[in-house]
């Protein structure tokens, strides 16, 4: 009891209360002002850290010093008769009350006063900033008039199992059009999200921020295929071009080239160089590759097994296929077979992000020395060009702080590459981190994540 009385006499409790509310007010001001001043996120963390460190220091000073008519002195040097604690106590009380009034006023304004205007302005500013970043990165100086969304082609075959072919053909056309610098193409995840939905052309175009849409249907029977394609102007719904192709699978690559060329010519785009062309391969290999990609995108153990089987069959026919080796290796890694994964990716070490995949595989195998050597080399060379794969390496290793740091870089540099974020198993380990839903909200994927089945 004597100790508590002494704490009260020396105003330690009063200092603690005053410090708490002053610190709270400082944090509120920092939270509002620092983003407005474009200060980095770590500055708010620094302020909070300093305030926490300062709390015990304030209590120690309150205990060790007293206020006398001659000023502040060490408590042991003060005759209690000279102390002015009894006169300063009420001043401290008034100061605490004043701080409480300010804090209460701020809380009332922030929580109870209608803030529709302020919130709307904040939301609008944020949306504009994100939109500007996305459009600038995706299109550069490209006009919206030179933008397109490739919607998933409709499977008109009698066999519903041929849906992999219609989806795959759509995706391959999208990948070809993406290679045209002057043409902005909506990401696959965004355009495929409208699959099966009965929406107007203008509504889809508004959501994807494009002026043109490419849609079609595929009817496959054995080796024969009928592809119907139409290019639509989004604002009025009129067809700019349409065509029907009755071909065999042997001609599928020629059909892809014809469609891509027709889109370019119709939009009257002046290209830098020649049109990208589809790589020729065995039609059966192509069909198997599309199957593998289809099941890989679905995720889950059973689908991974189907994807592996399709990729392995494709390689058995055409050993094309360098890209398949990388895709197959990554699929093995996600299955839990890093040894086979390493063997596969080593068959194509010239692949642009080969080293990023190898770092993840070596980390899984426990080869830390080699994995860290690759990571250090990436940081010196190409990591800044591939922020999303770099984030994947750190996320896979459980280094969440660095993973989120690189994800933020990816959001600033290449937000379109994060459209596939929820389908990438390399980021699954981040889901228990409190920063994960915050980042998803920034991407506009939070609701989609909540709606996903567990597991």
Residues 288 and 360 in one domain: yes
Both 166 and 48 in a single domain? no
The crossing angle, in degrees rounded to 10, of helices 354-365 and 338-345 is 150
Tokens matching residue 389: 């794969």
**How many separate domains does the chain show?**
3
pLDDT at 13: 72
Asked if residue 429 and residue 291 are part of one domain, the reply reads: yes
Does residue 216 have a pLDDT over 60? yes
Residue entry with tokens 């290449």: 414
Confidence of residue 321 (pLDDT cuts 50, 70, 90): low
Higher pLDDT, 145 or 215: 215
pLDDT at 134: 45
**Given pLDDT bands bounded at 50, 70 and 90, which one contains residue 439?**
very high
Q: Give Cα 336 distance to the centre of its chain.
A: 24
At residue 118 the predicted structure's pLDDT band, cuts being 50, 70 and 90, is very low
Q: Is residue 13 part of a domain?
A: yes
**Position 318 pLDDT exceeds 50:** yes
Beta bridge partners, 66, equal: 73
Task: Specify the pLDDT at position 375.
Answer: 95
Same domain, 293 and 214: no
Q: Which residues contact 108 (CB under 8 A, 6 or more apart)?
A: none
Looking up residue 387, the CATH number of its domain turns out to be 1.25.40.10
Nearest to 210 by CA among 242, 258, 177, 179: 177
The pLDDT value given to residue 122: 45
Q: What percent of the chain has pLDDT over 70?
A: 72
Q: Which domain holds residue 56?
A: 2-113
Quick check: is 133 in a domain? no
Spatial distance between the Cα atoms of 367 and 209, rounded to a whole number of angstroms? 45
Task: Give the end of a domain, one of 217, 232, 267.
Answer: 267
pLDDT band at 101 (very low <50, low <70, confident <90, very high): low
Residue 428 and residue 397 share a domain: yes
In whole angstroms, give the CA distance from residue 10 to residue 75: 9
Asked if residue 357 and residue 239 are part of one domain, the reply reads: no
Could you tell me if 51 and 23 are in contact, meaning their C-beta atoms sit under 8 angstroms apart? Answer: yes
Q: What is the DSSP annotation of 128-166?
A: HHHHHHHHHHHHTT--GGGEEEEPPPEE-SSSGGGHHHH
Q: How far is CA 169 from CA 155, 234, 240, 289, 321, in A?
A: 11, 22, 21, 11, 18
| pLDDT tens digits, one per residue of 347-402 | 888 887 899 999 999 999 999 999 999 999 999 888 988 899 999 999 999 999 99
Query: What is the token pair recorded at 308?
Result: 């592996």
Compute the average pLDDT of residues 98-114: 54
Residues 338, 257, single domain; the answer is: no
User: Which run of H or E residues covers position 229?
Assistant: strand 224-233
Identify the pLDDT of residue 315.
81
What integer pLDDT is reported at residue 396 of this predicted model? 95
Q: Is residue 109 pLDDT above 60, yes or no?
A: no
Evaluate whether residue 135 is within a structural domain.
no
Model pLDDT, residue 66: 66
- At 233-255, the pLDDT tens digits run 887 778 777 888 787 877 777 77
In a domain, 122, yes or no: no
Indicate if the pLDDT at residue 138 is higher than 60: no
Cα dihedral 192→197→203→205 (10° resolution)? 20
Both 333 and 425 in one domain: the answer is yes
pLDDT given at position 239: 79
| Residue 73 predicted with pLDDT over 90 | no
Domain identity same for 149 and 224: yes
pLDDT of 61 > 80? The answer is no
Query: In the prediction, which pLDDT does 131 show?
Result: 47
**Once rounded to an integer, what is the mean pLDDT over residues 121-138?**
46
Per-residue pLDDT for 311 more than 70?
yes
Length reported for the chain: 455
Comparison of pLDDT for 247 and 121, the residue scoring more:
247
Strands (E) located in 222-311: 224-233, 239-248
Instruction: Give the pLDDT confidence of 269-279 residue by residue, as tens digits.
Output: 433 344 455 55
User: 247 - beta bridge partners?
Assistant: 225
Q: What integer best gives the mean pLDDT of the chain?
A: 76
State the average pLDDT over residues 415-430: 81
pLDDT of residue 78: 60
State the pTM of this model: 0.43
Is residue 231 domain-resident?
A: yes
Report the CATH number at residue 221: 3.40.50.10070
Same domain for 435 and 315?
A: yes
Q: Using 50, 70 and 90 to split pLDDT, how confident is the model at 119?
A: very low
* Domain identity same for 343 and 427: yes
Listing DSSP states for 98-137 in one string gives: HHHHHHHHHHHHHHTS--HHHHHHHHHHHHHHHHHHHHHH
Q: Is the pLDDT of residue 182 over 50?
A: yes
What is the per-residue pLDDT for 114? 45
pLDDT bin (cut points 50, 70, 90) of residue 10 is low
Residue 232 lies in a domain: yes
Establish if 278 belongs to a structural domain: no
Question: Same domain, yes or no, for 188 and 80?
Answer: no
User: For residue 46, is it within any domain?
Assistant: yes
The pLDDT confidence band at residue 146, using thresholds 50, 70 and 90, is: confident
């Amino acid at each position: 009891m004597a100790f508590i009385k002494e704490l009260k006499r020396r105003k330690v409790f009063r200092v603690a209360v005053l410090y708490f509310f002053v610190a709270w007010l400082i944090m509120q001001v920092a939270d509002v002002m620092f983003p407005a001043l474009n200060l980095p996120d770590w500055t708010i963390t620094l302020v909070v850290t300093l305030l926490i460190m300062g709390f015990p220091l304030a209590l120690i000073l309150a205990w060790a010093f007293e206020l006398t008519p001659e000023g502040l002195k060490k408590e042991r040097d003060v005759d209690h008769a000279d102390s002015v604690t009894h006169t300063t106590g009420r001043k401290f009380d008034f100061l605490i009350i004043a701080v409480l009034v300010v804090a209460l006023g701020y809380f009332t304004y922030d929580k109870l006063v209608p803030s529709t205007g302020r919130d709307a302005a904040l939301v609008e500013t944020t949306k504009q900033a994100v939109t500007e970043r996305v459009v600038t990165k995706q299109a550069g100086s490209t006009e919206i008039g030179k933008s397109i969304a490739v919607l998933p082609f409709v499977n008109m075959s009698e066999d519903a199992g041929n849906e992999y072919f219609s989806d795959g053909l759509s995706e391959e056309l999208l990948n070809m059009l993406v290679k045209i610098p002057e043409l902005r193409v909506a990401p696959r995840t965004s355009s495929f999200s409208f699959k099966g939905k009965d929406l107007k052309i203008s509504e889809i175009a508004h959501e994807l921020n494009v002026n043109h849409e490419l849609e079609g249907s595929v009817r496959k029977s054995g080796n024969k295929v009928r592809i119907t394609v139409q290019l639509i102007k989004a604002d009025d719904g009129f067809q700019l071009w349409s065509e029907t192709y009755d071909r065999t699978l042997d001609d599928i690559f020629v059909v892809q080239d014809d469609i891509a060329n027709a889109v370019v010519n119709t939009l009257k785009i002046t290209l830098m160089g020649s049109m990208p062309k589809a790589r020729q391969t065995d039609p059966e290999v192509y069909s198997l590759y599309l199957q593998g990609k289809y099941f890989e995108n679905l995720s889950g153990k059973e689908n991974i097994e189907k994807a592996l089987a399709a990729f392995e069959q494709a390689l058995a026919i055409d050993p094309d296929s360098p890209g398949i080796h990388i895709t197959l290796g990554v699929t093995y890694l996600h299955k839990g077979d890093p040894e086979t994964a390493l063997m596969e990716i080593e068959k194509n070490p010239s692949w642009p992000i080969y080293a990023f995949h190898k770092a993840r595989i070596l980390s899984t195998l426990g080869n830390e020395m080699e994995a860290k050597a690759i990571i250090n080399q990436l940081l010196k060379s190409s990591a800044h060009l591939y922020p999303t794969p770099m984030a994947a390496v750190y996320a896979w290793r459980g280094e969440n702080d660095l993973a989120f740091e690189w994800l933020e870089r990816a959001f600033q540099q290449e937000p379109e590459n994060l459209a596939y974020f929820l389908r990438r198993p390399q980021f699954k380990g981040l889901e228990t981190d409190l920063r994960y839903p915050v980042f998803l909200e920034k991407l506009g994927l939070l609701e989609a994540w909540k709606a996903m089945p567990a597991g």
